[in-house]
Structure 1
């Protein structure tokens, strides 16, 4: 058996038999993007063109590394297995529903050849060796192994090359130029299905060795030297490596649940996905020969069977691509540091604190490969005094993966503590933060003229006074007139004077809420104070159609003939839907009696004309006034305003 030297990270892990592997979501540098592809049969990576070829739904989708579908090769019914030629220039595809294998130029994405395999053969799996395409075809016990000799013109197709084995299901095939005389076949759909290694040195497959290794193989991949195959099957909660020379087990890579897919990087790193019924971790990465994964990531968010070969390394082995989700929500997951142990930081700070008083921040740093005590963690405090963040230096990780530190925050309000682990050759970087609400003093803040009433149009000065603060002496004064048609408006913003005052003038045409705002500073909390001032309407009324004026006692009257109608015209500050209230009184026996009180709508010009009628008899003294009543006049934009009485007399 070939002896491997384990990477340093794995060797260290072997020393910690009590280590419990922790799972985490994607590391900070990993990405997850939606991808518009349906069912997946196979995934192949083209490093030269930075493409992923994904077969499924009778289509080959050509996808960029960013998850964008660049092109679709259509008209390929039931297209399944894909293979890239060793030089990367040609993509071969098994088109099961059309009984053929087709070839595409990877530079132009145009079809360059097709190879019919015979009516009803339904080729599903393919493998490439020098000058030949090998294909698994058929269904159930009618399955077989075929070959296409590309050196003849036309290419020669030969069926029934399985030799002494009768395939129960379509054979899944593997070959690699690193071992040019060897073809590997899996009989995947039956519990007794073997792994079969063929010698193809003569051009005709001859069984070299076969062994029943549990069947129901979900996926497989050759090692970089093509001397072993790693298979994923549901039986033993592991992906297993078998040596091709004798099909003896070389190694098992343990996963928590039934393995689904497997892919091997150029350096021998093994990536596997598992069913993950508990949704705790589905994607495992093992350095070649390792007993424990370098990382476990929870990418799928679902325990549904993955279906198809949906895990692939980039050509240089630096990234791992994993397709997750269903046809309705397919995601392309790109793992940027697949070989590193994922680290997960937590930070726990008190919910509240007092400015200038010591508080304690705690946390944990967890990972599958334990980090030593003293591992440096960088701490940054972000607050009102340091909005870009202030370094609190390096804190040391404790022996059990925990840490704590103390701080006396100099500023109040929200204070965020961010802890960062930079990562190393074996661990991903991680960062986490928590926020403390730190108390601040409440400043004195006042505003004049609250609940005062003013005549229409008066210019009123509102003065704000700000008491002691730390660094901020700026206040804002806002005016919000009543009525939905007038927005809140900033009147003035500026620093208070040496007495702590700032003033602004409001023209009182409506009731107005005036607000002063202090936004706070590092030691004093923000505060808002409101004064509501009230404004009368502007109103005037006059009588018409009288024939003279005169006085009765000391009161000025308009004189009317007893059969002449008195007409009252009112002008009032207009607002949509506003009405003026009219009160009519008659004098009798030394007292005034109300004979009518009602509301009349104003025109858009603010006028209302009312015919008061006539008594038909002489000696009648009357008076009338119009008023705005809040809110009975139809709105609450102004405060109640009573007009002056107009006196009139019907003489003869």
Structure 2
């Protein structure tokens, strides 16, 4: 088989360079009928993994999330907040955790070791030397045996060996050798799946590991089935292997059992076996499927960042993956998709499309749960975002028992004002949000200008007026500009005047020539009040 120019699978390759496996994913995007969130939102968390350049695996255990990469493991709590860093781990790569979540195993590709950690104290329990097998990379745990995919990349020195963890000093037992790159491994229910990587056609090998010696059941040919493998996962009973192309393969008959719609970069199955998570089905996304019906149940997108292949893991009802920014800095961040496995909820918001600055408006909406039950009183977070980007929370918005809600707000300025409504969800239903935009016009204003109807050249004229904003108080000290037109001539600048606190103003002028004088006072307005003008006509006679 012809090698592809790539390193070991799960080596931090982002979807930007891995789109070869996703060519069919975009074809399904137009017909989605499931809940879709437009982008990672307030319910999710994003934390930068500063200092880490190459994330290789993610695992969750004991209320913690472990991110392996470079020569370290970054540890977070269950909400994705960084709490610790374990350093001096040469080539930290694959992770595996015990079913009781008390121990984690780390492949140290740069030290030819597998490290065993206490997930509570983060103390090293033991280091298992695996020489002469180079670059241990991918791990999977089944009962007391740890299966290790090894290989230093871009050579045929890869393979798989097993470790009996019940032994005081486990000795590697070879399973298969002379494989290109470090193969992917997944084991459960007495079955071990081994996936080739880095080739234009990748074989999927299946082994029976119920006995002390692995027995190969057969091979699913990569050429015959057009397999390019970046990730794989096995069901808890070992009956099915699901590849990143979202095909499920029966591990006994070695035939394709089913397919999920589309394709992906990474795949993971929830601990209860009910959900399949996939990244990169349409680009920068996490997509959830029901394992029973294979229907898509949820999808959420990240902004300007691509999920790193092989870094997908469940933690309770949440899903974690590492993102690589598509900017020039290529910074890594850990993304927590909160409540990804929960039934959804839907928020709707109806607001008037137009309004007026300083004039109250009323918006209404509903919160609906996936099972149709009444949500009861639920607190909502309503945020008003102004055109300049500043935001304010509107307090005290709660749904009625039937899920309806209403709020009233007074736009403080003109322009496009966005109202965002967010429900944080609960233990039974996933969060949701919605938004609506209102185009607010500037508040009406007017100028009344008074003065004499006649005058004489050379004699001072006195004028007064009021800047009026209807039911609102105009800004004190508003700058008004006075102009003059004489007998349909050119518009001339006279001067400026500022309003008093009540909007009143006054000015004087001494006409230099006779004729029909039109005095005009203009106010440019603000982002709250509209432009306005007022005029007054004076007939000026020549000198007596």
TM score, norm. by length of structure 1: 0.53
Partner of 1:42: 57
Mapping of residues 407-426 of structure 1, within 5 Å: none
Gaps spanning 5+ residues in structure 2: where? 1-29, 373-379, 385-392, 450-463, 479-496, 509-544
Q: Deviations over 1:26-60 (max 9, x none)?
A: 355233333323311100011x2x21111111211
Q: How much is the aligned-residue C-alpha RMSD, in angstroms?
A: 5.1
Q: Given that residues 321 and 335 in structure 2 are in contact (C-alpha distance below 8 angstroms), is that contact kept between their aligned partners in structure 1? A: yes
Partner of 1:142: 157
Within the alignment, does 1:269 sit opposite 2:275 as a pair? yes
Q: Deviations over 1:111-170 (max 9, x none)?
A: 121111114522212222333322222343222222223344433333x332xx753332
How far residue 301 of structure 1 moved from its aligned partner, in angstroms, is: 2.2
Within the alignment, does 1:222 sit opposite 2:234 as a pair? yes
Within the alignment, does 1:433 sit opposite 2:433 as a pair? no
Indicate how the Cα distance of structure 1 residues 214 and 32 shifts in structure 2: closer, same or farther if over 3 A, else same: same
CA–CA distance in 2 between the matches of 1:166 and 1:381?
59
Gaps spanning 5+ residues in structure 1: where? 1-16, 233-237, 372-377, 397-404, 447-463, 479-512, 519-526, 533-652
Partner of 2:500: 516
Q: Secondary structure at the match of 2:219?
A: strand
Partner of 1:184: 193
CA–CA distance in 2 between the matches of 1:38 and 1:409?
46
- Of structures 1 and 2, the one scoring higher in RCO (CA 8 A, sep 6+) is 2
Indicate how the Cα distance of structure 1 residues 529 and 167 shifts in structure 2: closer, same or farther if over 3 A, else same: farther
Indicate how the Cα distance of structure 1 residues 149 and 53 shifts in structure 2: closer, same or farther if over 3 A, else same: same
Q: Secondary structure at the match of 1:216?
A: coil
CA–CA distance in 1 between the matches of 2:238 and 2:447?
80
Mapping of residues 83-162 of structure 1, within 5 Å: 83-119=96-132, 121-139=134-152, 140-158=155-173, 160-162=174-176
Q: Given that residues 190 and 215 in structure 1 are in contact (C-alpha distance below 8 angstroms), is that contact kept between their aligned partners in structure 2? A: no
Indicate how the Cα distance of structure 1 residues 32 and 148 shifts in structure 2: closer, same or farther if over 3 A, else same: closer
Q: Given that residues 58 and 66 in structure 2 are in contact (C-alpha distance below 8 angstroms), is that contact kept between their aligned partners in structure 1? A: yes
Q: Given that residues 517 and 529 in structure 1 are in contact (C-alpha distance below 8 angstroms), is that contact kept between their aligned partners in structure 2? A: no
How far residue 417 of structure 1 moved from its aligned partner, in angstroms, is: 8.6
Mapping of residues 228-627 of structure 1, within 5 Å: 228-232=240-244, 238-255=245-262, 259-267=264-272, 268-274=274-280, 276=282, 282-302=285-305, 306-314=307-315, 316=316, 318-326=317-325, 328-339=330-341, 340=343, 349-351=352-354, 429-437=432-440, 440=443, 442=445, 516-517=500-501
Indicate how the Cα distance of structure 1 residues 421 and 126 shifts in structure 2: closer, same or farther if over 3 A, else same: closer
Indicate how the Cα distance of structure 1 residues 312 and 530 shifts in structure 2: closer, same or farther if over 3 A, else same: farther
Count of aligned pairs? 420
How far residue 174 of structure 1 moved from its aligned partner, in angstroms, is: 1.5
TM score, norm. by length of structure 2: 0.62
Partner of 2:4: none
How far residue 413 of structure 1 moved from its aligned partner, in angstroms, is: 6.7
CA–CA distance in 2 between the matches of 1:296 and 1:515?
56
Indicate how the Cα distance of structure 1 residues 31 and 132 shifts in structure 2: closer, same or farther if over 3 A, else same: closer
Q: Deviations over 1:260-293 (max 9, x none)?
A: 11111123211111274xx5x5221111144442
How far residue 307 of structure 1 moved from its aligned partner, in angstroms, is: 3.8
Q: Deviations over 1:62-103 (max 9, x none)?
A: 123444332222222222111112222221111111111111
Partner of 1:30: 44
Partner of 1:206: 215
Q: Given that residues 468 and 474 in structure 2 are in contact (C-alpha distance below 8 angstroms), is that contact kept between their aligned partners in structure 1? A: no
